[in-house]
């Protein structure tokens, strides 16, 4: 059954316009395969998800070792294989859940260009466009296929995302248009000449909307860590194999089991899994709040942001406006001014929010018609129309920013400043004697009236700004509106620094000087689209991680260049295409949730990575010590499976998904290694010391099992202390988690059949208590070293 929300609303095409293809022509082109079939998707395919989780380097290593254990037995030494299968299944299920969430949100946020067919215009999915379709264009629309202009009404297209050329290009009928460009002003229509993969920048459009796992410091860091681990594993494993199979004289099956027991814990097999799960669950949580994450690292990136640049309109204020007052100037009569405003509104087929408010207040008058129109441009700050009145009088009018249309020192500017200081938006209606396409059209105009608009504040904007202030994230309001007006709006929301707004026309152009002003100020008005881009670059040059929010076409360039681009769901098609995060509910208040989710992922993965790498370090150290000492490896695979499950696997799963509000910090690899290396060395050294002591104490049959039990007890206690440190700061559930893991090990020690199953039995009291003492000393040393490292090597 068709979703009513997705049903296209058809509108008749004016008789003078191109009617587009007929239904029969569309069917013929579809049958020939001339369809825009570029596979735009928001997430990895099911096949890719399964492949990425199953066919990994470490799963291959673990799989081979598992097969070896199945041959030599017993099955309890192969428990690690079943754990890997369970972990992989969990990873696949969570990513498939995330895929389902993303795909459903992508349908909601999908662009639907307006296409003319059978003389009627209707919005259709991008993938249903066929060769020869007539596609309408308006401000903010993205060109989804290549084509040729059929109609142009002041049509200006920005091709900077393709060519790097910053200035918009004025298009005329017959001109070419490329996919990936977008409309900044005016309107028109074009016919599709290349669709699907033949279209220029088709790959750009695909990549802009694809769910991706690249460019993430977290994932790059984990890959780097895994590379280090591989380098350590290979020579150590070879040495262990030689030591246990050649030097030792015990049964070859026992030797194989102990070799496997030495290699398996070197593999941080759950680290990649938990990272994927943490990200996937983050996507699901944000999806429930109508937040579409178009690029996965955006969750991580926004958590690292220390400056967020906000566009006022659509972010701090709602899109709609209301006309509150009309003030005629220089003797103009109000009824006449109302008619002019109504006629100007009628001349623009795609009005912006300001003009829509004027249209709502002043309906189109009888007898007026437009002979020419100049669409609004954020670079010009005004629009215009050439009108014919009922008496045959021809006149040309401009409507836009008073401080742009009026010369400095004009008497009206003081009155306008007072209105702006109240947070009101003011437009000037003025008559010009020059043609609309004259570059000097705004010079020497005759003011006719001030149109005073009231902006609707978002009820949640104040709380969101307060959240960023509490989190030490600097907020910068960057708007094309009057600086005083923007400052008044920000002041109403309680924003610090709003009382000192800066007019961007007076900003220095040199990057360092601009950055200094930006760091000091909080509110900037009269910012051009190119300036927004320059301001983002200036902040980044000072080492800031910058997020940019916006919904208008004037925000596209800045959104593209910012570290994280955030678009409103109701924003232009172009802004949604370049943003990494789309707030489908148009709520600025969703941003704190995205920040919190990113901090949870980064902070928690740093915690669990330390656990996993500690295990790798002590495993490698134990293997080296065993090779050098020419003694049997102290553990069977079942012992380390038990230890890994209780001190790493289960706790890491809960810790990875726990709330975490700690601000994200850089240098992920250094932060993990500075703790895991000393912790692993201490744990490995203490365990080997207890093992050697037990080898000298126990003699006769069963001595090897007794020695292994002592080593296992020592390693468990030290590993539990590592877990206790990682779990800080303590909450009731974290304390409960640590105690539950300790209780699990105790149950194994006191339950006869579990003792047999895991080959764990503490013999006597002397060595068990000696193991406890060694572990206690190691834990105390670990605590001291941990605190010293934190103070000596802060990151």
| Angle, helix 461-470 to helix 591-629, in steps of 10 degrees | 30
Which one of the listed residues 133, 141, 146, 311 is annotated catalytic?
311
Quote the CA–CA distance of 113 and 136 in Å, as a whole number.
Answer: 7
Token output for 425: 């938006």
* 643 class by beta-carbon count within 10 Å (0-12 exposed, 13-18 middle, 19+ buried): buried
139 closest CA partner among 353, 350, 313: 350
Enter the DSSP assignment of 368.
-
CB proximity list for 135: less than 8 A, separation 6 or greater: 113, 114, 115, 116, 129, 144, 145, 147, 189, 190, 191, 192
Quote the CA–CA distance of 377 and 34 in Å, as a whole number.
Answer: 35
Quote the CA–CA distance of 383 and 161 in Å, as a whole number.
Answer: 25
DSSP H/E element including 455 = strand 446-457
344 closest CA partner among 329, 360, 357, 359: 359
Would you mind telling me the total number of residues written for the chain in this entry? 795
DSSP H/E element including 293 = strand 291-293
CB proximity list for 480: less than 8 A, separation 6 or greater: 378, 381, 525, 526, 527, 528, 529, 554
* 730 class by beta-carbon count within 10 Å (0-12 exposed, 13-18 middle, 19+ buried): exposed
What count of other Cβ atoms lies within 10 Å of the Cβ of residue 162? Answer: 15
The alpha carbon of 58 is separated from its chain's Cα centroid by a whole number of angstroms, namely 28
Q: How does 7-17 read in b/e, with b if 16+ C-beta sit within 10 Å?
A: eeeeeebeeeb
Token output for 366: 């009888």
Quote the CA–CA distance of 692 and 696 in Å, as a whole number.
Answer: 6
312 closest CA partner among 553, 558, 140, 524: 524
Contact assessment for residue 12 and residue 19, using Cβ atoms and an 8 Å cutoff: no
Quote the CA–CA distance of 325 and 357 in Å, as a whole number.
Answer: 12
> How are beta strands 146-158 and 169-170 bridged, if at all?
antiparallel
Contact assessment for residue 196 and residue 36, using Cβ atoms and an 8 Å cutoff: yes
Enter the DSSP assignment of 480.
S
Token output for 758: 């895991």
CB proximity list for 463: less than 8 A, separation 6 or greater: 589
Let me know if 311 is a catalytic residue.
yes
Contact assessment for residue 309 and residue 547, using Cβ atoms and an 8 Å cutoff: yes
Query: Largest alpha-carbon pair distance within the chain?
Result: 119
Quote the CA–CA distance of 481 and 524 in Å, as a whole number.
Answer: 9
Contact assessment for residue 316 and residue 477, using Cβ atoms and an 8 Å cutoff: yes
Q: How does 179-189 read in b/e, with b if 16+ C-beta sit within 10 Å?
A: bbbbbbbbbbb
Residues facing 452 on adjacent strands:
325, 426
Quote the CA–CA distance of 691 and 668 in Å, as a whole number.
Answer: 34
**Residues with catalytic annotation?**
311
């Amino acid at each position: 059954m068709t979703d009513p929300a997705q049903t296209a609303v058809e509108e008749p095409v004016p008789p003078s316009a191109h009617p587009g293809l007929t239904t029969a022509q569309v069917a013929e082109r579809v049958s020939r395969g001339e369809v825009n079939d570029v596979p735009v998707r928001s997430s990895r395919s099911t096949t890719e998800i399964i492949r990425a989780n199953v066919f990994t380097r470490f799963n291959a290593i673990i799989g081979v070792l598992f097969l070896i254990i199945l041959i030599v037995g017993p099955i309890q030494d192969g428990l690690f294989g079943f754990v890997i299968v369970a972990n992989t299944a969990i990873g696949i299920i969570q990513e498939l859940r995330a895929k389902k969430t993303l795909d459903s949100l992508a349908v909601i946020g999908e662009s639907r260009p307006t296409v003319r067919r059978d003389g009627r215009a209707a919005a259709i999915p991008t993938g249903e466009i066929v060769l020869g379709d007539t596609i309408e264009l308006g401000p903010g629309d993205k060109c989804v296929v290549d084509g040729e202009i059929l109609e142009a009404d002041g049509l200006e297209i920005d091709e900077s995302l393709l060519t790097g050329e910053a200035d918009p290009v004025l298009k005329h009928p017959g001109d070419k248009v490329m996919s990936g460009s977008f409309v900044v002003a005016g309107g028109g229509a074009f016919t599709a000449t290349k669709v699907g993969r033949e279209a220029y920048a088709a790959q750009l459009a695909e990549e802009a909307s694809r769910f991706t796992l690249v460019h993430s410091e977290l994932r790059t860091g984990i890959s780097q860590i895994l590379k280090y681990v591989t380098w350590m594993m290979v020579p150590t494993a070879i040495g262990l194999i030689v030591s246990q199979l050649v030097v030792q004289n015990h049964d070859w099956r026992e030797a194989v089991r102990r070799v496997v027991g030495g290699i398996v814990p070197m593999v941080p097999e759950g680290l990649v899994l938990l990272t994927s799960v943490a990200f996937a669950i983050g996507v699901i949580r944000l999806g429930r709040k109508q937040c579409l994450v178009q690029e996965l690292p955006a969750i991580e990136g926004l958590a690292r942001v220390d400056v967020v640049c906000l566009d006022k309109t659509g972010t701090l204020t709602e899109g709609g406006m209301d006309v509150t007052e009309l003030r005629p100037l220089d003797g103009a009569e109000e009824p006449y001014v109302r008619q002019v405003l109504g006629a100007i509104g009628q001349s623009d087929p795609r009005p912006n929010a300001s003009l829509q408010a004027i249209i709502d207040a002043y309906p189109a008058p009888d007898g007026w018609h437009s002979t020419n129109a100049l669409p609004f441009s954020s670079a010009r700050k005004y629009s215009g129309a050439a009108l014919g009145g009922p008496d045959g009088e021809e006149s040309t009018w401009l409507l836009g920013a008073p401080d742009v249309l009026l010369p400095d020192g004009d008497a009206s500017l003081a009155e306008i400043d007072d209105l702006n200081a109240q947070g009101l938006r003011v437009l000037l209606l003025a008559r010009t004697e020059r043609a609309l396409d004259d570059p000097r059209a705004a010079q020497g105009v005759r003011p006719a009236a001030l149109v005073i608009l009231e902006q609707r504040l978002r009820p949640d904007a104040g709380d969101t700004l307060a959240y960023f202030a509490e989190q030490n994230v600097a907020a910068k309001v960057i708007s094309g509106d009057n600086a005083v007006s923007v400052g008044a709006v920000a002041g109403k929301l309680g924003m610090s620094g709003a009382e000192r707004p800066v007019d961007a026309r007076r900003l220095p152009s040199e990057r360092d000087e601009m950055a200094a002003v930006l760091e000091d100020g909080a509110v900037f008005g009269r910012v051009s689209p190119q300036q927004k881009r320059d301001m983002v670059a200036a902040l980044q040059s000072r080492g800031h991680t910058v997020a940019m929010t916006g919904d208008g076409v004037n925000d596209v360039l800045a959104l593209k260049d910012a570290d994280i681009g955030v678009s409103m769901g109701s924003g232009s098609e172009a802004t949604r295409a370049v943003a990494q995060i789309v707030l489908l509910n148009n709520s600025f208040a969703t941003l704190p949730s995205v920040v919190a989710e990113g901090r949870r992922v980064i902070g928690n993965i740093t915690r669990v990575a330390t656990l996993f790498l500690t295990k790798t370090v002590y495993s490698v150290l134990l293997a080296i010590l065993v090779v050098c000492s020419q003694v049997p490896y102290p553990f069977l695979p079942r012992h380390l499976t038990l230890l890994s499950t209780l001190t790493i696997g289960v706790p890491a799963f809960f810790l990875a998904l726990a709330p975490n509000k700690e601000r994200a910090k850089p240098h992920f690899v250094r932060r993990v290694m500075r703790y895991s290396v000393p912790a692993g060395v201490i744990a490995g050294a203490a365990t080997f010391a207890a093992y050697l002591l037990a080898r000298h104490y126990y003699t006769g049959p069963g001595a090897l099992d007794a020695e292994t039990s002592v080593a296992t007890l020592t390693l468990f206690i030290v590993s539990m202390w590592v877990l206790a440190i990682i779990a800080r700061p303590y909450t009731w559930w974290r304390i409960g988690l640590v105690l539950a893991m300790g209780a699990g090990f105790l149950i194994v020690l006191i339950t006869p059949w579990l003792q047999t199953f895991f080959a764990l039995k503490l013999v006597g009291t002397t060595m068990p208590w000696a193991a406890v003492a060694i572990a206690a000393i190691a834990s105390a040393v670990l605590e001291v070293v941990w605190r010293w490292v934190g103070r000596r090597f802060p990151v």
